[in-house]
Amino acid sequence: MLVGLLGAALVLICLLSVALGARTVPPDQVLRALFGHPPSQLVDNIVWSARIPRTALGLTAGAAIGLSGALMQALTRNPLADPGMLGVSAGASFAIVLAIAVLGVGSLFGYIWFAFAGALAASLVVYLLGRLGRSGLTPVKLALAGIAVTSLLSSLTSAIVLTDPDALNRYRFWSAGSIANQDSGVVLRILPFLGLGAVLALACAPALNSLALGEDVAASLGRRLGLVRFQGVVAVMLLTGGAVAVIGPVVFLGLVVPHLARILAQAAGIGPDHRWLLPLSALLAPCLLLAADIAGRMVDRPTEIQAGTIVAFIGGPFFIAMVRRRRLAEL
């Protein structure tokens, strides 16, 4: 029932995303254009050339970030964790500015692959560092390794963009987080990576339920914790790397959405079952991202506020509230 309601809400938000913007298209004209009978060439161009690709990108990238956020929090057993903890965003940022400043790459289709490769490489380094030591891979070591790699790559990125104006201009737009000015080819290019990541993430759900009971309990139930964490890290790399490479680092989306999913699951009587929490997060995240994108278009028409800015405006207070709640619980 809950999944059906969220699915219906997502369909409604997708329709609003196609209809609303600098030029509002009435719902009946949107439907006519979608079914191949547009009232004019202008409406057809608006719907199919601009807003359908934008909505599709928000749908796929948002689902990937929400799914990876829920997976990251379950793997680390840290409710304040988000996909950026693995260095994915920092790796993608560094690869983009490196490709622009050093190799002269100037197009999105040129540096998207550098961004994805940088995200994967940074996540792999974090995973290998987290495995060092006798205790092997643990949530704390994984988090510390992610923070260290993120700090290093962020410093290197800042050093490059401060010395290269062209890299600074391109990086500034990408880093704000936006699903605008993209076409359907971008979605098709990242879809295989996101699809594989989603399959790996959903396959982890039963093991994550065992891991939530504690590592000793999970091991006694026959879970191979090293394999589960490796599968989870690969899933986060694919999901977040693919999404971030295209739309930029949309902060707080992967943090806020899993908590909203838990609230809804508890209200529906489902409980903390990751077999439901992961799909719920994958539905909630694109709802939030597309709603933020719509709000950004409508606030100051005909100009726009990028979706990443709107999400940060919502997620910042939520993050502060979560930190305060944890501190009060520890007193």
Task: Name which of 73, 96, 63 is nearest 187 in CA terms.
Answer: 63
In this prediction, residue 330 has a pLDDT band, given cuts at 50, 70 and 90, of very low
In this prediction, residue 109 has a pLDDT band, given cuts at 50, 70 and 90, of low
In this prediction, residue 305 has a pLDDT band, given cuts at 50, 70 and 90, of confident
Count: domains in the chain? 1
Assess whether pLDDT exceeds 50 at residue 90.
yes
User: Which residue has better confidence, 18 or 321?
Assistant: 18
Which contiguous run of DSSP H or E holds residue 47?
none
In this prediction, residue 195 has a pLDDT band, given cuts at 50, 70 and 90, of very high
Mind listing the pLDDT tens digit for each residue in 215-271?
778 878 778 888 888 898 889 888 988 888 888 888 789 988 998 999 898 888 888
User: What confidence score (pLDDT) does residue 331 get?
Assistant: 40
Whichever domain contains 84, its CATH number is 1.10.3470.10
Task: Tell me what the pLDDT averaged over the chain comes to.
Answer: 85
Residue with tokens 């999970």: 218
Q: How far is CA 143 from CA 2, 34, 64, 160, 319, in A?
A: 32, 45, 20, 26, 18
Mean pLDDT of 71-100: 82
Q: Which range marks the domain in which residue 38 is found?
A: 2-330
Does residue 68 contact residue 84 with C-beta atoms inside 8 Å? no
Q: pTM of the predicted model, to two decimals?
A: 0.88
DSSP character string of 227-290:
HHHHHHHHHHHHHHHHHHHHH---TTHHHHHHHHHHHHHHHTT--S-HHHHHHHHHHHHHHHHH
Mean pLDDT of 274-296: 94
User: What confidence score (pLDDT) does residue 108 get?
Assistant: 65
